[in-house]
Amino acid sequence: MPAPRRVVIVAFPGVDLLDVTGPAEVFSVASGITGEGRPGYRVQIAAARAGELPTSSGVRLVADVALAEVRGRVDTLLVPGAISPADGGVEPVVDTAVVEWLRTAVPRTRRTASVCAGAHVLAAAGLLDGLPATTHWLTAERLAADHPRIAVDPDPIFIRAGRVWTCAGMTSGMDMALAMVAEDHGQAPALATARAMVMYVKRPGGQSQFSVPLSIHAPRGDRIEELRRWIADHLTDELSAEALAERAHLSVRHLARLFRQRTGTTPASYVEALRVEAARRLLEETDRGLPEVATASGLGSVETLHRAFRRRLATTPTEYRRRFRFPPAAGTAGAFPGGPASPPDRTPTP
């Protein structure tokens, strides 16, 4: 049997528990699925000192090895994160001992990744300079402000830039780990791993951290909130400004003013965003042709579908499906939207 791939997860006091255990479980389950003759994974937790350490949830982890004792080649190095309350907001935790260690450990690592706010740790070590990266949406603005040489994108659930991966909040670490299993072993073992873990397996790296409705925080019970929920359930209906105003029992001008106050956008733009999101799901999850996708999403025609995708995603529906249709070919990589098929890129999950 080939030797298992060595996965080292760096922990520190106060680390977010799921950042550590989520990816670890993916690699553990995958090890029992990859089959004979293919290397599984051996997961180690490393910390400044071996032994127990507290996590943000209060559950204690046990570090298998001290950082100074991690020697030799590492296949996959994961750096989880932590976020602490600070002055009415949040503060990403940057452990200085981990930062210093990373500078010497990464050169002997095949693949390095951060989970959630762990991107701030990689950034502090200078490992994200000149690369695109993502992190939890709560700290993305801070990451961009503190490290202007990083192209921070708060939207996708994970981004791959060559040998360096970054992902968004907590559970996206599991999506990223599944993508790594797919890169190492192909789509079938990754799919089997996701099924065994009862995971939603169709989340491409380019998928947004938010759906359109969840990204808007309108008070429940008011007419705009009720209208938004109704729109989401009636994307194929007539959704012109006049029709929506009539539905809300408002004038077109008053609706436009209230809608922008609540959502920061116009009714027409909001409707298009929802329809594009619906079209994205159909392209990712079904074999429907473009005319069917256009009709089912409410965009109406293939021409309108193309225009909306060009405007909002800077790509075509066909190219989007090629990049993110499940299941893509094993090892598929490519920049999105547009760009060369070499790093940096966003790689689809299985």
pLDDT 10s digits, 284-339: 778 999 999 999 999 999 999 999 999 888 789 998 887 766 544 333 333 323 22
Domain stops at, among 139, 171, 196: 196
Dist. CA 210–CA 215, nearest whole Å = 6
Q: Tokens 């001008």 correspond to what residue?
A: 253
Cis peptide bond upstream of 267, omega within 30: no
In this prediction, residue 281 carries a pLDDT of 82
In this prediction, residue 12 carries a pLDDT of 96
In a domain, 205, yes or no: no
In a domain, 341, yes or no: no
In this prediction, residue 350 carries a pLDDT of 32
In a domain, 93, yes or no: yes
**Looking at the structure, do residues 159 and 186 belong to the same domain, yes or no?**
yes
- Mean pLDDT rounded to a whole number for the chain: 85
Residue type, position 274, single letter: L
In a domain, 338, yes or no: no
In this structure, of 30-34, 238-242, 294-298, 324-328, the range with the lowest mean pLDDT score is 324-328
Query: Which one, of 349, 7, 5, lies nearest residue 179 by Cα?
Result: 349
Q: Tokens 């080292």 correspond to what residue?
A: 8
**Looking at the structure, do residues 84 and 9 belong to the same domain, yes or no?**
yes
**Looking at the structure, do residues 158 and 91 belong to the same domain, yes or no?**
yes
In a domain, 174, yes or no: yes
What value does the CA radius of gyration of the chain take, rounded to a whole number of Å?
22
**What is the bridge-based pairing of β-strands 158-161 and 164-167?**
antiparallel
**Looking at the structure, do residues 74 and 167 belong to the same domain, yes or no?**
yes
pLDDT grade, residue 163 (50/70/90)? very high
In a domain, 264, yes or no: yes
**Looking at the structure, do residues 238 and 293 belong to the same domain, yes or no?**
yes
**Looking at the structure, do residues 166 and 232 belong to the same domain, yes or no?**
no
The arithmetic mean of pLDDT across residues 217-232, rounded, is 75
**Looking at the structure, do residues 68 and 102 belong to the same domain, yes or no?**
yes
**Looking at the structure, do residues 177 and 273 belong to the same domain, yes or no?**
no
In this prediction, residue 347 carries a pLDDT of 35
The arithmetic mean of pLDDT across residues 25-52, rounded, is 92
Q: For the chain, give the number of residues.
A: 350
pLDDT grade, residue 87 (50/70/90)? confident
The arithmetic mean of pLDDT across residues 181-205, rounded, is 78
**Looking at the structure, do residues 189 and 223 belong to the same domain, yes or no?**
no
In a domain, 350, yes or no: no
Domain count across the chain: 2
**Looking at the structure, do residues 186 and 220 belong to the same domain, yes or no?**
no
Q: Any idea what the CATH number is for the domain that residue 11 is in?
A: 3.40.50.880
Q: Any idea what the CATH number is for the domain that residue 261 is in?
A: 1.10.10.60
In a domain, 208, yes or no: no
Q: Read off the pLDDT of residues 261-272 as tens digits, 9 standing for 90 and up.
A: 887 789 999 999
Domain stops at, among 163, 196, 229: 196
**Looking at the structure, do residues 166 and 34 belong to the same domain, yes or no?**
yes
Residue 174's CB is within 10 A of a number of other CB atoms, namely 25
In this prediction, residue 332 carries a pLDDT of 35
In this prediction, residue 341 carries a pLDDT of 29
Domain with 221, as residue range(s), is 213-324
pLDDT grade, residue 191 (50/70/90)? confident
In this prediction, residue 252 carries a pLDDT of 94
**Looking at the structure, do residues 226 and 190 belong to the same domain, yes or no?**
no
